């Protein structure tokens, strides 16, 4: 158990809908990263939040957004869903702003299926 | 931009046989390298990492990886695999850019240990 929790575990929805994925980092960790894992794209970095502020965006679509709340949990919002958004979404946390050698601790993921 | 290449998408091997999972990276600066393992229906777990110092790093469950700067490689090896090692293995490099540190992952190698 990494100490990172994600809810829900599974999510099935229809095209055009909007969903929210939630992540609670390890106790004491200030950084939350979101990754998307799909068969065709592999593991892709989406976005990084540190202590409530967005630090960087990766390959994140404009239909997707995220935020980190004062209690440090984070939510990833996916809207106008398309079939191709079906994937496993992971969040990871690390202490501080993250560093080159810092280990990131991954949650169990949320499997999103768009029908 | 940094990149990670895992040439083998799947590696079948018999139990108690040795295995090598290959990872090559591209970087012109100092690198920090990681191997993560993903067991079925689980999140990623850190297996081992190279930050500096000895080029040979080891995990608690018998895996080891050697950082080879001249060949830009960080191959993962185990002298004798077990059925329980069946999983997907991801090589990653820590990348600094746009004000954040994030992982760049390879496409993964699925290790299948056969009885």
Chain segment B48-95, per-residue pLDDT in tens: 999 888 899 999 889 999 999 899 999 999 999 999 999 999 999 887
Mutate to test the interface with B, among A33, A37, A50, A66 (most CBs of B within 10 A): A37
Map tokens 């390959």 to a residue.
A59
Give the model's confidence band at A100: pLDDT under 50 very low, under 70 low, under 90 confident, else very high: low
Per-residue buried b or exposed e for A64-77, using 16+ beta carbons within 10 Å of the residue's own CB: bebebeeebbbbbe
**Which of A45, A97, A109 is facing B43, going by the closest CB pair?**
A109
Rounded to a whole number, what is the largest CA-CA distance in chain A?
40
Is A90 at the interface with chain B, CB within 8 A?
Answer: yes
Contacts of B24 (CB under 8 A, 6+ apart): B4, B5, B7, B71, B72, B73, B74
Contacts of B90 (CB under 8 A, 6+ apart): A43, B6, B35, B36, B37, B38, B44, B105, B106, B108, B109
HSE-up of residue A16 (Cα within 13 Å, Cβ side): 0
Give the model's confidence band at A95: pLDDT under 50 very low, under 70 low, under 90 confident, else very high: confident
- State whether residue B6 is helix, strand or coil: coil
Model pLDDT, residue B84: 95
List phi, psi (to 5°) of B43. -80, -175
d(CA B2, CA A39): 21
**How close A109 gets to chain B, by Cα (Å)?**
6
Inform me whether the pLDDT recorded for B100 exceeds 70. no
d(CA A73, CA A70): 8
Give the count of beta carbons closer than 10 Å to the beta carbon of residue B25.
Answer: 20
Is B7 at the interface with chain A, CB within 8 A?
Answer: no
d(CA B34, CA B37): 10
Cβ pairs A/B, distance under 8 A: 64
The nearest alpha carbon in chain B to A109 belongs to B43
Over residues A25-46, the pLDDT tens digits come to 999 999 999 999 988 888 899 9
d(CA B2, CA B29): 9
């Amino acid at each position: 158990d990494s100490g990172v929790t994600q809810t829900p575990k599974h999510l099935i929805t229809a095209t055009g809908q909007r969903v929210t994925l939630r992540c609670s980092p390890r106790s004491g960790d200030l950084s939350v990263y979101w990754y998307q894992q799909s068969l065709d794209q592999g593991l892709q970095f989406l976005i990084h939040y540190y202590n409530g502020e967005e630090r960087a965006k990766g390959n994140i679509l404009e239909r997707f957004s995220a935020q980190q709340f004062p209690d440090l949990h984070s939510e990833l919002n996916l809207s106008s869903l398309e079939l191709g958004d079906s994937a496993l979404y992971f969040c990871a946390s690390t202490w501080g702003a993250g560093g080159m050698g810092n280990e990131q601790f991954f949650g169990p993921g949320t499997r999103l299926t768009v029908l | 931009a940094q990149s990670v290449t895992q040439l083998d998408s799947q590696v079948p091997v018999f139990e108690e046989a040795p295995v090598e999972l290959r990872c090559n990276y591209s970087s012109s600066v100092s690198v920090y390298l990681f191997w993560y393992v993903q067991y079925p229906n689980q999140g990623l777990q850190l297996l081992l990492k190279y930050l500096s110092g000895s080029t040979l790093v080891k995990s608690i469950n018998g895996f080891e990886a050697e950082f080879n700067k001249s060949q830009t490689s960080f191959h993962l090896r185990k002298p004798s695999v077990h059925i329980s090692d069946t999983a997907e293995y991801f090589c990653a490099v820590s990348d600094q850019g746009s004000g954040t540190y994030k992982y760049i992952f390879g496409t993964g190698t699925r290790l299948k240990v056969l009885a």
